[in-house]
């Protein structure tokens, strides 16, 4: 009779149960798919903002001169001040020092910017820091619809924070 070789302990063959492994892999995949909650998309707003442009200086004015504490004084610009109410909406609106409502803004801008004797080339919006974004965009929308005396659309908009106490 022939002798049988005894297998050593370390040389036993191991069978993997692939059905159980596939089952576990699909369970994990299902778990991660069902519990995945992507973060909400923030800041994805489609805006058509005017191109940035430097301030326009008047004849004889030196940019950066310290003749005045007001950096906007002497520029060929129209200043719109927008203050906020308690809810962040438009509390007050003024062109230069003349108060008006949001409904009258477009008509007043049209009369000021289309005047043939006007030297205005840009609009500076002084906005309160607590003003909501949609309220500010309402003012910007009314400004970007305007045309200058030469028929070109108003392209120069600047934004400045409204000083405290105004």
> In the chain, where does DSSP find H-type helix?
18-35, 102-113, 133-144
Cα dihedral 109, 162, 93, 68 in deg (nearest 10): -50
**Pair of tokens at residue 132:** 């909501």
Judge contact between 139 and 131, C-beta under 8 A: no
Compute the distance between CA of residue 49 and CA of residue 143 in angstroms, rounded to an integer: 11
Global pTM reads 0.54
Could you read off the pLDDT of 46-105 as tens digits, one per residue? 666 655 555 555 555 444 444 444 544 555 778 888 888 888 888 888 887 788 888 888
Residue 132 scores a pLDDT above 80: yes
Closest CA to 80 of 133, 132, 130, 142: 142
Judge contact between 123 and 156, C-beta under 8 A: yes
Judge contact between 83 and 166, C-beta under 8 A: yes
Could you read off the pLDDT of 7-55 as tens digits, one per residue? 566 667 778 889 999 999 999 999 999 998 877 665 566 666 655 555 5
Compute the distance between CA of residue 104 and CA of residue 8 in angstroms, rounded to an integer: 97
Higher pLDDT, 113 or 69: 113
């Amino acid at each position: 009779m022939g002798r049988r070789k005894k297998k050593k302990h370390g040389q036993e063959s191991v069978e993997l149960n692939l059905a159980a492994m596939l089952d576990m892999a699909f369970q994990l995949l299902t778990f991660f798919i069902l519990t995945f909650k992507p973060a909400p998309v923030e800041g994805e707003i489609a805006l058509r903002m005017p191109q940035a442009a430097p301030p326009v200086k008047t004849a004889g004015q030196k940019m950066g001169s310290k003749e005045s504490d007001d950096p906007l004084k002497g520029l060929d610009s129209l200043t719109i001040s927008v203050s906020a109410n308690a809810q962040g909406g438009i509390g007050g609106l003024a062109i230069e020092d003349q108060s008006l409502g949001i409904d009258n803004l477009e008509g007043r801008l049209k009369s000021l910017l289309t005047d043939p004797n006007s030297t205005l080339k840009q609009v500076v919006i002084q906005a309160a820091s607590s003003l909501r974004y949609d309220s500010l965009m309402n003012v910007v929308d009314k400004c970007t619809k305007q045309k200058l005396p030469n028929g070109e659309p108003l392209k120069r908009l600047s934004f400045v924070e409204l000083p405290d106490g105004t």
